[in-house]
């Protein structure tokens, strides 16, 4: 048998190859963990396959649209984003309804009249079956004869006016109030605010001069032992109202939909201390308002929030809760992970070229 004749260089070369293979395998196996360490992210990458409850924070650009799928196959849509995202939203909703095999939305909740929340409503109502609409206590001016003097606010906000006019002829529509919207053995959905019939901008008591953001209901969703809080564009005044109305223990949640696209004037430190979310979701797109505000992100960072996820960065964010009540998060857009194997391969080739050059130059001496 021919004896293998290894030189010192051969040993170095083969050891290097074995070393590189082992490191390469380790990087492939632990790529997520290494990327998380490098990016300081605690993002979860589970695909949602086993969950009877799901909540989608839909990417509608700058605006809100949230789809809730309940275990008894009911769907609730909270807001519809701006008009320009309407087509995209309708196609997303149809895709999800197909997947769930559900043919209608049980409740469409319009939180308040701003166009980034109700801009897509008309499109949704014309294309998707909706059982019932819940609206804030804000009338459009043509409703005066119907409702008389209820003491509710008025608005001429275009998308809202169009939606209400269209819906009042064809849909079952009610004003939402602080009560339980729907509940079963497994879940419960409550409107915690607004507590008043009217929220004025100033002290002039003019029903045409209302602060529409303050009508945004704060909605608590409970599933199993988990709690999710939706806030629309609620202001710090609404947050104070909430804290004064309910026991602190009741307001301790797992997931918070951060109010008003991450505006600095909402989601106060005082509010965060009580709500204590594990995950904060910001529904935000390209905008000129500076959302999400640096001050807000800092407040979240200094609170106990484990991860803050925005639709601007991750696109549609789907959250499920499995049988063990684990929170599962699936993101449409991945974070920029370092392609560690590629970086490593480039380093390896560079080292090999350098070694070869060094060996050649030694031979030439």
Binding pattern to Zn ion, positions 66-105, x when CB under 5 A? ----------------------------------------
Integer angstrom CA distances of residue 133 from 119, 166, 275: 15, 12, 28
Number of residues lying near Zn ion (CB under 5 A): 3
Nearer to Zn ion, 70 or 281 (CB): 281
Residue 229, token pair as written in the block: 């809080």
The C-alpha atoms of residue 189 and residue 168 are separated, in whole angstroms, by: 25
Contact 122, 169 (CB under 8 A): no
Q: Phi and psi for 32 in degrees, rounded to 5?
A: -60, -45
- Residue 116 is a binding residue for Zn ion (CB under 5 A): yes
- Residue 59 is a binding residue for Zn ion (CB under 5 A): no
- Residue 254 is a binding residue for Zn ion (CB under 5 A): no
Nearer to Zn ion, 70 or 124 (CB): 124
What residues between 215 and 244 interact with Zn ion by CB under 5 A? Answer: 233
Mark the segment that binds Zn ion (CB under 5 A) among 106-114, 191-199, 265-273, 291-299.
106-114
In whole angstroms, the minimum distance from the beta carbon of 261 to Zn ion comes to: 6
In whole angstroms, the minimum distance from the beta carbon of 161 to Zn ion comes to: 17
> What torsion, rounded to 10 degrees, do the Cα atoms 181, 185, 186, 187 define?
10
In whole angstroms, the minimum distance from the beta carbon of 283 to Zn ion comes to: 8
In whole angstroms, the minimum distance from the beta carbon of 62 to Zn ion comes to: 8
CB atoms within 10 A of CB 185: 7
Contact 113, 86 (CB under 8 A): no
Which residues are within 8 A (CB) of 21 and not within 5 positions of it... i.e. 6 or more apart?
none
In whole angstroms, the minimum distance from the beta carbon of 94 to Zn ion comes to: 24
Give the residues lining the site for Zn ion (CB under 5 A): 114, 116, 233
């Amino acid at each position: 048998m021919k004896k293998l004749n290894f030189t010192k260089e051969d040993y170095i070369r083969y050891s290097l190859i074995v070393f590189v293979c082992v490191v390469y395998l380790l990087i492939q196996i632990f790529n997520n963990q290494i990327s998380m360490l490098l990016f300081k992210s605690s993002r979860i990458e589970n695909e949602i396959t086993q969950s009877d409850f799901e909540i989608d924070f839909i990417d509608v650009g700058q605006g809100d649209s949230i789809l809730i799928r309940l275990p008894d196959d009911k769907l609730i849509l909270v807001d519809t984003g701006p008009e320009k995202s309407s087509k995209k939203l309708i196609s997303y909703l149809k895709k999800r309804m197909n997947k769930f095999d559900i043919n209608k939305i049980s409740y469409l909740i319009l939180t308040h009249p701003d166009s980034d929340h109700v801009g897509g409503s008309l499109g949704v109502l014309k294309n998707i079956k909706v059982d019932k609409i819940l609206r804030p206590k804000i009338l459009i001016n043509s409703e005066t004869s119907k409702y008389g003097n209820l003491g509710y606010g008025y608005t001429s906000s275009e998308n809202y006016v169009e939606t209400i006019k269209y819906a009042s002829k064809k849909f079952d529509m009610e004003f939402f109030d602080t009560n339980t919207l729907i509940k079963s053995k497994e879940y419960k959905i409550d409107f915690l605010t607004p507590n008043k019939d009217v929220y004025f901008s100033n002290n002039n008591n003019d029903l045409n001069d209302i602060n529409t953001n303050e009508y945004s209901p704060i909605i608590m969703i409970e599933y199993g032992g988990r709690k999710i809080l939706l806030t629309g564009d609620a202001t710090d005044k609404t947050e104070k109202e909430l804290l004064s109305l309910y026991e602190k223990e009741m307001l301790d949640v797992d997931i918070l939909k951060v109010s008003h696209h991450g505006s600095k004037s909402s989601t106060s430190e005082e509010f965060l201390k009580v709500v204590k979310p594990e995950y904060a979701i910001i529904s935000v797109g390209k905008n000129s308002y500076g959302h999400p505000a640096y001050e807000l992100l800092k407040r979240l960072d200094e609170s106990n929030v484990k991860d803050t996820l925005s639709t601007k960065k991750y696109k549609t964010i789907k959250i499920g809760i499995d049988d063990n009540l684990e929170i599962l998060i699936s993101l449409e857009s991945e974070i920029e992970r370092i392609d560690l194997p590629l970086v490593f391969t480039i380093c390896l080739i560079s080292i090999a070229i350098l070694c070869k050059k060094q060996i050649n130059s030694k031979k030439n001496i």
